[in-house]
Copies of this chain bind each other. A is one copy, B any other.
């Protein structure tokens, strides 16, 4: 969930100076329209790691907008009054009325997160609370509210540096307490808990936006545009608001994303490749014969640009396996029988039993990639698919399946080269179609779809691995190594941990 927010997004001073007045003016105007004409309240949740810029953001919103129609609600320890009533009572009394924006500094998420980190809340009790929150937010949205949920994220190193910077500046040093440093120690635990919570409450009616908190200007502009975009869209929406309205995807304000951040020049020469290939294929062959693997199954999901080398990657994997143990499922247009069922049905039918491997060559992500871009399904359908897919993978994980997902990325230039080569070589010609050429024209839409997919479905239990695939050797080894490491972390966790530690 946090991939896009660890890339080191930055906005330079000049861009910011040019953009800020525009965003401010538009925000003020939207706020005015909201309070004059609109029939809905805005609930804005500000959450995230310490030092991620939560209070700076709130101050900025006050500077940018008309503070008379903003209310900020900070929730620390509950008062006497609050303690003697149900947990949600304090939030109910703080809800903004129609036409106003209520900024929640801390929210109904704060307590469950803190309790879970302290170990005072079991996993199932946490899920129970998240279910209640989902129902509550659905009710808010059904009642007309626009719910915007922001999560400010810092990488562990980013958080350390941020605390140091705050401490150094005499104007902000007071904000750094011993608790702040203590929280750095529980960073990993927070990420794990937050990842789970963001996944289970990333509902189509009230999704999360994760904002990288490192750079002040980037954070400010991003929040401003998310809020502006959501307000403008909703103000312009004339649909009957009886149903939860799928909110738009958050705007991107720079060209840095999980795909453009990849270093596609990475290479492996022939000798290194052959040595590595042998090493990881050998390791994989051992791992799928590990006695512990009988309690698990392995599900490999391959997605990627056209001609990125999925087939070749898959072949290098299967070379290490026994043909009786695996099944490759190539995913093309659905059959009649499949079309008569929910879209996940065609994947459920191929779920492996224990001790087996299923390799999907293209996957259930088709819905949020090709079906989204080509308009084969409605917006509401692909928006809800993120949650459905997360639920699906979570269920697989809970049952012991190990789900490894690859996106193979190649540069435009390399893709063009491969396309031309395919046309020339007789036995490769079947691989290239009109569609492939046509898709190249839509590469921007595909890129946005891939980034959203990674942001919304790269979970702790089933993370995405992005593979730099301009060099086939490099890609194949990265795929094999990733599979082996995931298997090891599950089948022989202690061994995997020791290895990791000795590397550091």
Residues of A within 8 A of B (CB): 41, 81, 84-89, 92-93, 95, 97-99, 122, 124-125, 127-128, 131-132, 135-136, 139-140, 142-145, 242-243, 297, 337, 340-345, 348-349, 351-354, 378, 380-381, 384, 387-388, 391, 395-396, 398-399, 401
Pairs A-B, 6 closest by C-beta atoms? A97-B340, A143-B342, A86-B399, A84-B353, A92-B348, A131-B131
What's the nearest-Cβ distance from chain B to residue A41, in Å?
A: 7
A395-B132 CB under 8 A given contacts A81-B353, A84-B353, A337-B97: yes
Give Cα A43–Cα B30 distance, bound, in whole angstroms: 45
Q: Are B41 and A340 in contact (CB under 8 A)?
A: yes
Task: Give the contacting residue for A87; candidates B81, B127, B399; CB below 8 A.
Answer: B399
* Beta-carbon nearest neighbor of A121 in chain B: B124
Give Cα A378–Cα B131 distance, bound, in whole angstroms: 25
What's the nearest-Cβ distance from chain B to residue A202, in Å?
A: 12
* Beta-carbon nearest neighbor of A390 in chain B: B135
Q: Are A89 and B128 in contact (CB under 8 A)?
A: no
Give Cα A88–Cα B392 distance, bound, in whole angstroms: 10
Task: Give the contacting residue for A98; candidates B136, B340, B391, B399; CB below 8 A.
Answer: B340
Residues in B with CB closer than 8 Å to A388 are: 135, 139
Q: Are B381 and A348 in contact (CB under 8 A)?
A: no
What's the nearest-Cβ distance from chain B to residue A346, in Å?
A: 10
* Beta-carbon nearest neighbor of A356 in chain B: B84
Task: Give the contacting residue for A89; candidates B98, B142, B348; CB below 8 A.
Answer: B348
What's the nearest-Cβ distance from chain B to residue A368, in Å?
A: 15
What's the nearest-Cβ distance from chain B to residue A308, in Å?
A: 30
Task: Give the contacting residue for A342; candidates B86, B95, B351, B401; CB below 8 A.
Answer: B95
Q: Are B88 and A349 in contact (CB under 8 A)?
A: no
Q: How many copies does the complex hold?
A: 2
Residues in B with CB closer than 8 Å to A128 are: 124, 127-128, 131
What's the nearest-Cβ distance from chain B to residue A335, in Å?
A: 11
A and B contact pairs by CB, cutoff 8 A, 22 listed:
A41-B340, A86-B396, A88-B395, A92-B345, A92-B348, A95-B341, A95-B342, A97-B340, A97-B341, A122-B124, A124-B124, A127-B127, A127-B128, A127-B131, A132-B395, A135-B387, A135-B391, A139-B384, A142-B381, A144-B342, A242-B381, A243-B380
Residues in B with CB closer than 8 Å to A344 are: 92, 139
Residues in B with CB closer than 8 Å to A87 are: 395, 399
Residues in B with CB closer than 8 Å to A348 are: 88-89, 92-93
Q: Are A93 and B242 in contact (CB under 8 A)?
A: no
Q: Are A351 and B89 in contact (CB under 8 A)?
A: yes
Residues in B with CB closer than 8 Å to A354 are: 84
Task: Give the contacting residue for A343; candidates B81, B143, B340; CB below 8 A.
Answer: B143
Residues in B with CB closer than 8 Å to A132 are: 391, 395
Q: Are A401 and B86 in contact (CB under 8 A)?
A: yes
Extra inter-chain contacts (16) besides given A84-B354, A145-B342, CB under 8 Å: A41-B340, A41-B341, A86-B399, A88-B348, A95-B341, A95-B342, A99-B340, A124-B127, A132-B395, A139-B384, A139-B391, A142-B384, A143-B342, A144-B342, A243-B243, A243-B380
Residues in B with CB closer than 8 Å to A391 are: 132, 135-136, 139
Task: Give the contacting residue for A86; candidates B381, B387, B398; CB below 8 A.
Answer: B398
* Beta-carbon nearest neighbor of A99 in chain B: B340
A349-B81 CB under 8 A given contacts A86-B396, A127-B131: no
Residues in B with CB closer than 8 Å to A142 are: 381, 384
Give Cα A353–Cα B403 distance, bound, in whole angstroms: 48
* Beta-carbon nearest neighbor of A143 in chain B: B342
A349-B92 CB under 8 A given contacts A97-B340, A135-B387, A340-B98: yes
Give Cα A396–Cα B84 distance, bound, in whole angstroms: 11
* Beta-carbon nearest neighbor of A123 in chain B: B128
Residues in B with CB closer than 8 Å to A86 are: 351, 395-396, 398-399, 401
Give Cα A92–Cα B391 distance, bound, in whole angstroms: 14
* Beta-carbon nearest neighbor of A384 in chain B: B142
Q: Are A85 and B351 in contact (CB under 8 A)?
A: yes
Residues in B with CB closer than 8 Å to A93 are: 348-349
Q: Are B378 and A242 in contact (CB under 8 A)?
A: yes
* Beta-carbon nearest neighbor of A125 in chain B: B124
What's the nearest-Cβ distance from chain B to residue A29, in Å?
A: 22
Residues in B with CB closer than 8 Å to A297 are: 84
